[in-house]
Amino acid sequence: MELKNRIWMTGALEWFAYIDDEEVFLGSKNFPSPLEEGDQWTSEIGDVFKVVDGEIKKIGHTEPPKKYW
């Protein structure tokens, strides 16, 4: 699958992408790799993303996932 968004990973293993000309944090450990059509995930800050027609789209925001140490 060819992804239409530009994505990159930082040295801290955090994933980012340009979505609608804005730099957006996609997540780190919970980021699905490699991406497939229909993949959906929630970032650590509660943003919900989905791959639709080869493009990452922000589809909403929810309560951030709870961390259990």
Band the pLDDT of 11: cuts 50, 70, 90.
Answer: very high
Residue pLDDT, tens place only, 28-54: 877 888 899 999 999 999 999 999 999
Residue 1 lies in a domain: no
Whether 32 and 48 have beta carbons less than 8 Å apart is answered as no
> pLDDT value at position 40?
94
> pLDDT value at position 23?
97
Residue 50 lies in a domain: yes
26: amino acid identity, one letter: L
> pLDDT value at position 43?
92
Task: Residue 30: give the domain boundaries.
Answer: 7-61
> pLDDT value at position 2?
85
CA distance 33 to 61: 21
Residue 67 lies in a domain: no
> pLDDT value at position 31?
84
Residue 30 lies in a domain: yes
Whether 56 and 5 have beta carbons less than 8 Å apart is answered as yes
Burial class (CB in 10 A: 0-12, 13-18, 19+), 56: buried
Residue 27 lies in a domain: yes
Count of domains in the chain? 1
Residue 39 lies in a domain: yes
> pLDDT value at position 37?
95
